[in-house]
Amino acid sequence: MQTYEIAVIGGDGIGPDVIAAGKQVLDAAGDVTGSYRLNYTDFPWGCEYYLQHDRMMPADALQTLEQFQAIYLGAVGYPTVPDHVSLWGLLLPIRKAFRQYVNLRPIKLLRGIDGPLRGKGPEEVDFVCVRENTEGEYSGVGGRVHVGTDHEVALQSIVFTRRAVERIIRYAFDYAQSHGRTGVTSITKSNAMQYNMVFWDEVFEQVAQDYPGIATSKYHVDAAAARFVTHPESFDVVVASNLFADILTDLGGALQGSLGLPPSANIDPTRRYPAMFEPVHGSAPDVHGQNIANPLAAIWAGAMLLDFLGEEEAGQLVMDAMEAVTASGEVRTPDLGGAATTQEVTEAVVTTLQNI
Ligand code: GGG
């Protein structure tokens, strides 16, 4: 039996609750398959840590995390700490330092869930977003001058490097090829952004030439947002910059019926550094402490973690159990129209998994 070392950062708000649920399901899948054990080390980092230590995680946190095979993260951010401080104090430094240049976000309507789109079911809503995760609009380059005066200036620069743009687009094509997907759609805004996005388009066209078997399309981000709603079935693999994909995948969560469902994987494809798995959603202070947070996004992120570790059979088992629970429609948290607690949904997934 294989043992994997997993760093766990429950983080803020509902983060610790949904990650506890995810651990319970991943452990149950390990017991059923008998093929692995996950050895968790919990780190109490986040906004509460910040209030005590004036930083979101210790100075040597990255060296600590580097020893692990994967990181399982709940949520980052709480109203007690400014959002840009929490995000730049924990989530973004991990993604950047560990070269997690791929942020993989499946957008798939699970069986039994009524998505918001008329006539669009699980067959139509089933695609994958590949988000550039280390630069672009989140490069962190900028500054403020004349602060507090009436001629104050704020600059936030977008940085696109050929290396990063090419590798994320190539990853999207490779992903399509290896997962039986037939098309890659590029998200741009090159009509208005004549430097970085024209560059993005050029690189997309160059890389596409190496994949003659994959169909290509491109949409400006505003048109893509509309098309996500009107023609979700026209997307297969979508590749986009950091901010564009961040926005579009929240829309994707809505297409899935709730932001309590979509997962995400932050991956360094070279595997030099650990990958990080997290729900797309944040800390949800509005439902925190009520035991009604939907654990499915964290559980789904856990299934992606198992796939990444090579435990695909267990990952599939978790997905099958989760989808059997949504298909039955009996046990659902309030975001999906039910009245079940976080714990009840988690137990339903565990029981289903044990009986598959
Ligand atoms: N699940 C992690 C989390 O808290 N996400 C909320 C968030 O604001 N994420 C920003 C991002 O993914 O770039």
Provide the β-strand partners of residue 6. 40, 70
pLDDT for the residue 184: 98
pLDDT for the residue 172: 98
pLDDT for the residue 24: 98
pLDDT for the residue 21: 98
pLDDT digits (tens, 9 = 90+) for 311-322: 999 999 999 999
From 280, 283, 294, 296, give the residue whose CB has the most ligand 1 atoms within 8 Å, as the site to mutate: 280
pLDDT for the residue 212: 97
Instruction: Kindly report whether the global pTM for this prediction surpasses the value 0.95.
Output: yes
Residue stretches of the chain with pLDDT short of 50: none
pLDDT for the residue 183: 98
Catalytic residues: 138, 189, 222, 246, 250
Distances (CA, A) of 111 to 114, 248, 324, 332, 334: 8, 22, 8, 13, 17
pLDDT for the residue 103: 98
Q: Burial-class residue 29 by CB neighbours within 10 Å (0-12, 13-18, 19+).
A: buried
d(CA 266, CA 257): 23
- Protein residue with least CA distance to atom 6, ligand 1: 282
d(CA 267, CA 71): 10
Ligand 1 atom at minimal distance to the Cα of residue 77: 4
pLDDT for the residue 307: 98
Measure the CA angle with vertex 58, ends 14 and 56; round to 5°: 40
Ligand 1: residues whose CB is within 6 Å? 73, 75-77, 246, 278-279, 281-283
The tally of CA atoms less than 13 A away on the side-chain side of residue 180 is 1
pLDDT for the residue 54: 98
From 91, 135, 243, 299, give the residue whose CB has the most ligand 1 atoms within 8 Å, as the site to mutate: 91
